[in-house]
């Protein structure tokens, strides 16, 4: 949820750190700071705001030196203030640290350290790391031992990097990523390969509890006993670095527009990998599907397709609840985890729980080197390129397209997705051509406080996804629900200030939806229909093309994405970086 970057080498470090932090800003953007070493002294600048703004204000990039660390924060402990921004010193300015994760025993550690005279400045859990390092370093004058002893005291999840005034950089991780990038001029230590991919595609993924030390000459990695360990160098695909906005005002808009091509190209990855994936699914008794947020909505659609078309027994559980419902999972089960980032803590927790019960792990991810891909027995890639906007858009259609490819294979081509991909790409383009009209509708809805979104059957997960887009991008209270449930309670909320969006393509759910729409209209609400057919009951109509009924989810999500994007603009919100959120939620 925060991003960490460190560099030691021959180049001016500050501009490198600023650039890397901008690339990883999706991980957290409450505040930013960097610390560098100059003439044997650590100098530090930090402040509240996004990297570009703080850099403009404080000129972070001008800090001198060739060694330093940087951080963008997504607040967990302590509010968003300059003091709580990282890096953090210990009592003196001889050590500075940056941290990602949550130190669960920070209160006990803080009390213990205060008891021996340490003075804390921030409200963060992270600051205990700086004080522990300082304490052990003062006691032992040995950086390696100080780091290992510090790690032994920490409970929870962490990745941290510390800079010492002698110019040494060290770091360690447990259940949060930390990756080394090696360049001719030195080394990076980063939360994400995007932190250094512009400079090198050679990455070393640290294992849990590894400690890395970079001094003036060497890079060494140790285990918790202090023994040197070797970690392999992974060549990362360069394409992951392409994160510019092109001609678009925002990453989110660019990513929305990439979807037709993503659907058209879906499933072009190594077919042998898909084949093996399907074999594992076929040989299981039950497939449990999990994910968080948008990826969970994809899992709901996947369950529907697996059950109804591939006739495979499937169950779905949102990742944050998975550990509480493990009954029925054993070595005949498969857990299929869906995650764009492959780093979501709730998803990784669900995977660990299922592994513990003996299940095989399949995953669908965007990042082949992610934690999820690496702990899975088998994984497939959604291949949609980096998604920078915090709201998932193109990753959702890419996940769905891959699910259709898999299910099609499992049911011996009963969906004929392959044959329909080009048509679906065209249908998405047709909707994009109506962007101006959806923009106008967004202007009409800008003052809406409550929007209900209803759909039935396979459209219900899209109602949930549409509501999630409106919540996170436009800060509007939006609820997705099955159309049939409305009359069992929520109808009491409907009145003349309510807006109800009905997902109603011309399929077997349509007649019932129209009846529901009339019930709502009778209570004075404004009805917005998303359909391939107009109907008098709609006050506002968003037209989508007709496609084969089972493929509607792929196209009907697009109007919601466009609507939420323009509502964000109408409300002066930043669509790429919604408040309080981060792209990868690596904390539980």
Active site residues: 2, 583
Q: What region, left, alpha or beta, does residue 141 occupy, with left being phi > 0 and alpha being psi -120 to 50 degrees? A: left
* Residue 391 CA, distance from chain mean position: 9
In whole angstroms, how far apart are CA 269 and each of 375, 402, 419? 20, 10, 17
DSSP string for residues in 423-475:
HHHHHHHHHHTTHHHHHHHHHHHTT-SEEEEEE-GGGHHHHHHHHHHHHHHH-
- Distance of closest approach, residue 363 Cβ to ligand M6R, in angstroms: 10
Residues recorded for the chain: 588
Closest residue to ligand M6R, based on beta-carbon distance = 293
Nearer to ligand M6R, 55 or 344 (CB): 344
- Distance of closest approach, residue 31 Cβ to ligand M6R, in angstroms: 20
Nearer to ligand M6R, 97 or 318 (CB): 318
Residue holding tokens 């054993």?
330
Say if residues 532 and 563 touch (Cβ distance below 8 Å): no
Say if residues 64 and 4 touch (Cβ distance below 8 Å): no
Alpha-carbon torsion (404, 409, 412, 417), positive or negative:
positive
Say if residues 100 and 159 touch (Cβ distance below 8 Å): yes
- Of residues 438, 437, 427, 384, the one with CA closest to residue 560: 438
In whole angstroms, how far apart are CA 200 and each of 41, 62, 172, 185, 232? 29, 23, 21, 11, 15
The residues, any chain, with a CB within 8 Å of residue 106's CB and separated by 6 or more, are 77, 125, 128, 156
Nearer to ligand M6R, 406 or 585 (CB): 585
How far is Cα 122 from Cα 79, in angstroms, rounded to an integer? Answer: 10
- Distance of closest approach, residue 389 Cβ to ligand M6R, in angstroms: 8
In whole angstroms, how far apart are CA 139 and each of 95, 96, 115, 152? 14, 17, 16, 16
Helix locations, 453-581, DSSP H: 460-474, 510-521, 552-570
How far is Cα 348 from Cα 335, in angstroms, rounded to an integer? Answer: 11
Say if residues 460 and 300 touch (Cβ distance below 8 Å): yes
Say if residues 405 and 551 touch (Cβ distance below 8 Å): no
- Where is 57: in which H helix or E strand? helix 51-58
- Distance of closest approach, residue 367 Cβ to ligand M6R, in angstroms: 9
Residues near ligand M6R (CB under 6 A) are 292-295, 339-341, 344, 347, 390-392, 468, 472, 581, 584-585
Q: What region, left, alpha or beta, does residue 470 occupy, with left being phi > 0 and alpha being psi -120 to 50 degrees? A: alpha
């Amino acid at each position: 949820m925060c991003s960490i970057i460190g560099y030691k080498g021959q180049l001016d470090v500050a501009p490198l750190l600023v650039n890397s932090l901008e690339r990883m800003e999706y991980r957290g953007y409450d505040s930013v700071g960097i610390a560098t070493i100059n003439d044997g002294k650590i100098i530090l600048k930090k402040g509240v705001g996004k990297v570009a703004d703080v850099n403009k204000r404080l000129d972070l990039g001008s800090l001198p030196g060739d060694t330093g660390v940087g951080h963008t924060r997504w607040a967990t402990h302590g509010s968003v203030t300059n003091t709580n921004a990282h890096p953090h010193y210990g009592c003196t300015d001889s050590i500075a640290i940056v941290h990602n994760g949550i130190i669960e025993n920070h209160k006990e550690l803080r009390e213990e350290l205060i008891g021996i005279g340490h003075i804390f400045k921030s409200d963060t859990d992270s600051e205990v790391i700086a004080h522990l390092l300082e304490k052990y370093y003062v006691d032992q004058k040995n950086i390696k031992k100080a780091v290992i002893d510090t790690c032994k005291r920490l409970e929870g999840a962490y990745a941290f990097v510390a800079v010492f005034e002698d110019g040494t950089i060290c770091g360690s991780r447990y259940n949060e990523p930390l990756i080394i990038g090696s360049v001719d001029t030195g080394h990076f230590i980063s939360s994400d390969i995007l932190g250094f991919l512009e400079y090198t595609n050679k990455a070393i993924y640290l294992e849990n509890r590894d400690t890395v030390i970079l001094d003036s000459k060497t890079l060494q990695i140790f285990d918790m006993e202090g023994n040197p360990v070797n970690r392999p160098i992974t060549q990362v695909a360069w394409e992951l670095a392409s994160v510019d906005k092109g001609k678009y005002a925002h990453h989110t808009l660019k990513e929305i527009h990439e979807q037709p091509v993503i659907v058209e190209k879906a499933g072009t990855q190594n077919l042998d990998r898909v084949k093996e994936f399907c074999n594992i699914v076929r040989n299981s008794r039950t497939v449990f599907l999990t994910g968080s947020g948008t990826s969970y909505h994809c899992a709901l659609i996947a369950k529907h397709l697996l059950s109804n078309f591939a006739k495979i027994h499937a169950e779905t559980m949102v990742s944050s609840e998975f550990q509480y419902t493990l009954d029925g999972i054993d070595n005949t089960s498969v857990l299929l985890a869906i995650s764009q980032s492959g780093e979501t803590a709730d998803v990784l927790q669900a995977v660990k729980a299922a592994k513990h019960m003996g299940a095989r792990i399949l995953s669908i991810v965007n990042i082949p080197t992610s934690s999820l891909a690496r702990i899975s027995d088998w994984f497939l890639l959604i291949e949609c390129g980096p998604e920078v906007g915090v709201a998932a858009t193109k990753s959702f259609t890419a996940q769905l397209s891959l699910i259709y490819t898999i299910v099609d294979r499992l049911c011996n081509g009963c969906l004929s997705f392959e044959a329909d991909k080009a048509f679906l790409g065209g249908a998405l383009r047709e909707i994009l051509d109506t962007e101006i009209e959806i923009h106008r509708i967004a202007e009409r809805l800008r003052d809406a406080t409550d929007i209900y979104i209803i759909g039935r059957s396979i459209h219900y997960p899209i109602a949930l996804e549409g509501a999630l887009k409106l919540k996170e991008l436009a800060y509007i209270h939006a609820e997705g629900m099955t159309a049939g449930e409305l009359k069992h309670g929520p109808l009491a909320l409907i009145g003349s200030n309510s807006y109800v969006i009905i997902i109603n393509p011309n399929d077997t759910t349509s007649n019932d939806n129209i009846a529901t729409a009339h019930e709502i209209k009778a209570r004075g609400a404004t009805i917005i229909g998303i359909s391939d057919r107009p109907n008098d009951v709609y006050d506002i109509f968003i037209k989508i093309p007709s496609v084969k009924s089972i493929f509607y989810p792929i196209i009907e999500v697009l109007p919601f994405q466009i609507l939420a994007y323009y509502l964000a603009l109408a409300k002066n919100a930043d669509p790429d970086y919604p408040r309080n959120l981060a792209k990868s939620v690596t904390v539980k």
